[in-house]
Structure 1
């Protein structure tokens, strides 16, 4: 739409200043006028829509059938109870769904893209939804384009527009004026919202936001994707189908046995239907969903943002964490400490002001970072800018004095950046990057202001200095230059260079990194460090953190290239540090660990890290310094870029899985107890121990709040992180899950039938409900005595227990409910007796711990 305007016409059209951007006040006015830079959301579900979702369920239809049968039998109290159960189930479901939606919406907001914008002449990073038309925006490789932007300047800028235009290859952009009316794919001077910058850098003016963008115009054709289901939820869905078939078969058997025994057919049908509804844990998917959503929300508080729900499960199975060094294991606060020039290594404090002008000017000019109210850019480049300022340089004035005419952006494969600057009547090219590459391209060296040929002796001196600096754990950058650069080809600009010198900088390890590495090792998780630094530098940091013990645990990318896949796979078991690696190496590292049977987590922040993040079982992107490309490829984002957050997230992930498993086993064993109770009574021709309304009531008070309380339980973090990673192929009933479910199901059935033998239906009804409440308390930790549990850590469980007890008390003591449920009032002595019987699952819990205690005592001896 604006592709035919000159730069001046474009600025006039949007009333903006190319040099200073909009004022903050004007930007706020435009935001109020035009609205936020977001696409319209799909119509949100109303409360009534969510109610319909809850009612539109086969189990609910069966309950309505049960209510109809009760009406035919003139069991009006049962009819009322069944309808009450439907209403309460629906209410709980609507509330749970609402909480899950809010949690997921909060996560979406936290993963929204940001943009670097110039306002009042100052670059700053803001949320992309705050952009307005006329804003001047800076783009670089790895960014997701935040709006439709007409480009004013570009440096080798290429964008992936496949999602918008279908063009499979990145499109090279320009800032030339084009003719009006070109198709979207041919507007080379415009970058489009949600496309991805693959390489280069550029700057432009926002010409469309939100629904006015090209993406917004087709937004109506894009449907919301369904909420992603985790493997656990899928397995639960399959389990639910199997349980439904088994439960219906058992209840059909119960009905036919009743027919053979000449019992009342309608009553037996009602009982069988009620039992089928109670036996199938229809609340289980809701419990799992809410536990996952709440768990993911808790992870946000520890700075771990889960972008894909399956990552929560996978976290508990991770056996290897491949971590980037800079900013993750280290503070990402680079400080230049040493300068090498004129054949000597000097502390920065000893370098006189403007002592090495070509070296320092090159570091400041060949630099894309910005010092201002906000520090924007790479930590290494920012460290160079700070050093320059401390030496008396003004990088902004320097950049105006020597304007950039051409740039080859930094490439993680080649590890260098080139910028060409106008210097009087000629141009000077500066190249900054990895020392070994820069040194190989140099044919001259600057020494005490004079340019000399680069001899083998000179190279040896420089390499020795590099090694000395690397052994101190310094990250080293070299700078070379070429005067009177005319040809703008990469080959011409990177040949015949003059070596100017090196800067050595330190990025100290994070204090908490060593503690986290130690904790992960204790949890059976290996930690591998991946870096572009030199081997000596990498090993120095790795040893301080506790990742590596000896140099034999280190390997370089070059050494990897010389090894076969089989040889590398064999050596991977002992490798902990990977130095001088490229993004291609990272993919190979992940594959190597995976081929050894490990579940791998990989961190990354750059656009070229996306392949390794996707290859890993869990890709982890950096939130502060990571590119949009890395975040989009990742399963998890660290909002603080801190390695210790990975350890906390793994602990939380293990806890979430354990809690979900506790809820599953509790629900299945409780419901199994109800089935066995009824089936055994009918099979042995006993009177019916429970009415249909009793079964539904017990299901209501035990299948909701206690199960949820288990789902949000606070686990013993130390105990969790002392265990080895969980096998990803491990079933829900591993480690005795089936026998546990059957044992407690039979136990609940036995004590319920015993209570029925002692005092009839009211006794059985009370024991069935209350015993499951006691069972829930024991389920908090199958390996710990109830007397050693910290019950105040889970007040929700205490609330669920006493609320359930109060509701059960209500149906036996309040006259209206006594009549409604057909129960009998109980004396204090009877209540004490029934509470004692109901507590038997807790007694069993303690008895089952005796063998573990004996084994523990033997181990101590």
Structure 2
């Protein structure tokens, strides 16, 4: 019942000094005692559980049943091979699941929520899971509450607690509130804050009283036992494809069995053949392989500073056609420096080195700007918002250090900045009375001011003076400077937040610049070349934003910019229709951001949107890809996003789009490869049975080929290095069929060649011994030799064919034969295993094969190379047509 206790009682009970926080040694002790601050999820599956899960498949059951029957009839070798294939398949499945799981686990670690705590007298940002009871936690707008807290300080603090209470309106909090009723519900505990709820306004401090499963959210978590396993849209699409192919394969297997019955073939052998073919033909491992490719791709993205939180985002990234980016920190360096100071009738350029002296008017302006900040700046290092750090650093140049200014001017109240008002205000002591200090957008300040500070006097703010300040602001904006205005007023009492920003005295303005990132220009050109439209969205002045956009190559003229006010004035239908004309949106609110996203989406565009604030959450959710800033972003924006940039850099978004395109292409290569192999295997079995030829492959051989030639090359294709030309293509249409641009044709031709060449090899093997396809009573030795040739051709042709699928357009030689060592390794291992199977006597006996002579090997290699060469020829013809 922490809400019943006073702050002093709490401090004594938890043994903590709120001014210093816990010591590092005490944290270690409490971490061991209470454990990590995390809700316990479902226990991870053991290796045995994962292994057993791989065996839960109808086809596996049928295979195991077939193995039992083979033992009963004395075919022990076949039984051993079937069991080995089943077990090896399960082991590969476990490896795949573990690999994907570890990749996603690593990403979850990267997206762990952070918490601001005071420890050893210093404020530190730590992982929320490291918070312990007794920790002093600092709260500000946009942060999730990391543990259950008893508040010790609060200033206009509001917390959204719908996750616990169901109440959508944020609760107002008061650290000093006294509660006497021990039955007070959570929603009325005004002096407490609870884990996973969200600070929407104001700031505060609290002491952690419960962590992990001891929190209110932990109590709820104990009652829940969710085990959700969500598939990405692509995985769902492929799972549906797999089901369709399964039905087709099973029908073919049934037909094979019926035809075999009519033809009076060996029924048990035909039963095994049909089941083996079903296992080979059904791509049951496709969703698993896609999951691995996605997970590994996401891990690669994390290395380029892009943390993808949701796997479907990877697919969407490849189709992005518009990138809406914030300016500050994303397109620019996020290192604001004040360049100019303006008081009425007087413009001064700020020295970039050394110090200077402020005149009385400038001193009043600078004092207001410095006191109305939460930033600190000492010894060249600052903490806080970059804009505010620049203002405090400006004070250092003019001998107005913040730590000296605040003596006797202690803050008494405040009204935090929000993106609708575009203002921030504080109430500080001023002698025996108080003074309100307000800073923000100059046009908004003019709406709240009725007086001006000119030459040490307060004068009425008339149209002429207002026009003068606006003209100065516009001149700075034209030079790509960000303009911040300042105003103040004196009062005899502290004021309520809504009373602070009225009847203000305008003091002046400053112009600052955040230089563009050096690498962003090239990234914007890359995006344009890839058919992606870069768009700047900012709260800055229209002229400032347009100047930087033109410099970066986003826009070509001021006419391509639009202000929030102009958006409001334009009818929605007209705005949606004209959206493609604009590249810069300035002075926008969060509502405008949502409107911009909707407008682009109405034109069929796939939109990526960046954001860092609490109010950016709606636009991040509305966008196809919401991108949060990892450095400056709030927990809310990170929670609403699909991707987090750990370096807050526009270049990373473009790199992530490139990676997304590569991953999609790789998945497509994998699918085409698997379908080609499956189709080839079905042809090689189905045609001989229909035409009453000898069957060229034994059930154990089919299972072996399926295991060796499917999994390894498929995964290797999934991690193929990106095509250098992937960013020269137009963005992919999300509605586009997976088999567009000749992919279906490629799969059919590949499968047809693999199947037909397997039958040709079998026919050749029979002919060398004087037999044909319709010969009766073929000798066992002749049949073994023909089956061996068919067996090797089927396996090796699939391995070689995988090499030609690395690019849909470029030749294998241009792509680089050894640029994917995983694939070369998979092909080499596959060929080596085939050689061992037919060369080692005990394996050869088990698989009913025999060694091949030099001439036969030469023919087998020639046959196996034909699908590869055919696909390369088709690509060459396409290139020639394109050049013409």
Interval of TM-score (by shorter of Structure 1 and Structure 2): over 0.9
1:497 aligns with 2:504: yes
Instruction: Tell me, in whole angstroms, the C-alpha distance in 2 between the residues paired with 1:221 and 1:328.
Output: 42
**Matched residues in 1 for 2:700 and 2:326: separation?**
59
SS at match of 1:735: coil
CA distance in 2, matches of 1:232, 1:463: 53
2:356–2:397 contact (8 Å) kept in structure 1: no
Instruction: Note closer, same or farther for the CA distance 1:229–1:375 as it changes in structure 2 (3 Å cut).
Output: farther
- Determine whether 1:761 maps to 2:766: no
| In 2: Cα distance, 1:44 partner to 1:354 partner | 67
Matched pairs, number: 857
Q: 1:646, CA displacement in angstroms?
A: 0.4
Q: Report what 1:291 is aligned to.
A: 293
Partner of 2:142 in structure 1?
142
Matches within 5 A, 1:164-179: 164-176=164-176, 177-179=178-180
- How far apart, in 2, do the equivalents of 1:569 and 1:844 lie? 48
Q: 1:307-353 CA distances to partner (integer Å, 9 max, x unpaired)?
A: 11111000111111111111111111111121112432212227515
User: After the TM superposition, which residues 493-572 of structure 1 pair with which residues of structure 2 at under 5 Å, given as runs?
Assistant: 493-572=500-579
The residue aligned with 2:195 is: 193
Structure 1 counterpart of 2:831: 805
Secondary structure of the residue that 2:22 maps to in structure 1? coil
- Give 2:778's aligned residue: none
* 1:447 corresponds to 2:451: no
1:745 is matched with which residue?
A: 751
Counterpart of 2:258 in structure 1 is: 256
| 3-state SS of 2:670 partner | helix
Paired residues of 2:325 and 2:331 also in contact (CA < 8 A):
yes
1:167-566 residue pairs with structure 2 within 5 A?
Answer: 167-176=167-176, 177-179=178-180, 181=182, 182-349=184-351, 351-352=356-357, 355=360, 356-371=362-377, 375-484=382-491, 486=493, 488-566=495-573
Q: What does 1:702-717 align with in structure 2 at a 5 Å threshold?
A: 702-717=709-724
User: What is the alpha-carbon distance in structure 2 between the residues aligned to residue 259 and residue 213 of structure 1?
Assistant: 67
Does the 8 A contact of 2:801 with 2:867 survive in 1?
yes
2:771 counterpart residue number = none
Partner Cα distance (1:117, 1:363) in 2? 27
Q: Pick from 673, 686, 689: which aligns with 1:682?
A: 689
For 1:396 and 1:41, the matched residues in 2 are separated by 47
1:622 aligned partner: 629
Q: How far does the alpha carbon of each residue in 1:150-171 deviate from its partner, in whole angstroms, 9 at most, with x for none?
A: 2122121111111112222111
Q: Is the 8 Å Cα contact of residues 2 and 180 (structure 1) preserved in structure 2?
A: no
Counterpart in 2 of 1:599?
Answer: 606
Moved more, 10-19 or 594-603: 10-19
Distance 2:460 2:74 in 1: 107
- Report if aligned partners of 1:671, 1:745 keep a CA contact under 8 Å in 2: yes
Give yes or no for contact 1:690–1:765 (8 Å, CA) kept in 2: yes
**Distance across 2 between alignment mates of 1:853 and 1:185:** 67
Q: Distance in 1 between matches of 2:608 and 2:449?
A: 39
SS of the aligned residue for 2:66 comes to: helix
Q: What SS class does the counterpart of residue 56 from structure 1 fall into?
A: coil
Select the residue among 735, 739, 745 that pairs with 1:729. Answer: 735
Residues 354 and 391, structure 1, Cα contact 8 Å, conserved in 2: no
The more displaced of 388-397 and 51-60 is 388-397
Match of residue 132 from structure 2: 132
Quote the residue 2:805 is aligned against.
779
Measure the CA separation in 2 of the matches of 1:379 and 1:850: 54
TM score, norm. by length of structure 2: 0.95
Counterparts of 1:558 and 1:225, CA distance in 2: 47
CA distance in 2, matches of 1:764, 1:73: 27
Q: Which of 676, 694, 698 is equivalent to 2:705?
A: 698
Per the alignment, do residues 789 and 492 of structure 1 end up closer, same or farther by CA in structure 2, a change over 3 Å counting?
closer
Q: CA deviation at 1:372?
A: 6.7
- Aligned equivalents of 1:89, 1:715: Cα separation in 2: 29
How far apart in 1 are the matches of 2:468 and 2:185? Answer: 58
- Structure 1 regions of 5+ residues with no counterpart? none
Secondary structure at 1:480 match in 2? strand
Q: Does 1:849 align with 2:875?
A: yes
Larger mean Cα displacement after TM superposition, 844-853 or 797-806? 844-853
Q: Deviations over 1:520-559 (max 9, x none)?
A: 1101010110001111000011011100001111000000
Distance in 2 (CA, whole Å) between partners of 1:91 and 1:424 is: 78
Task: Compute the TM-score of the two structures, normalised by the length of structure 1.
Answer: 0.97
- Gaps in structure 2 of 5+ consecutive residues: 766-785
8 Å contact kept, 1:602–1:619: yes
Q: Which moved more, 1:28-37 or 1:310-319?
A: 28-37
What secondary structure, in the 3-state scheme, does the structure 2 residue paired with 1:329 have?
coil
Task: Report the Cα offset of residue 489 of structure 1.
Answer: 3.4
Q: Relative to structure 1, is the Cα distance of residues 9 and 185 closer, same or farther in structure 2, using a 3 angstrom cutoff?
A: same
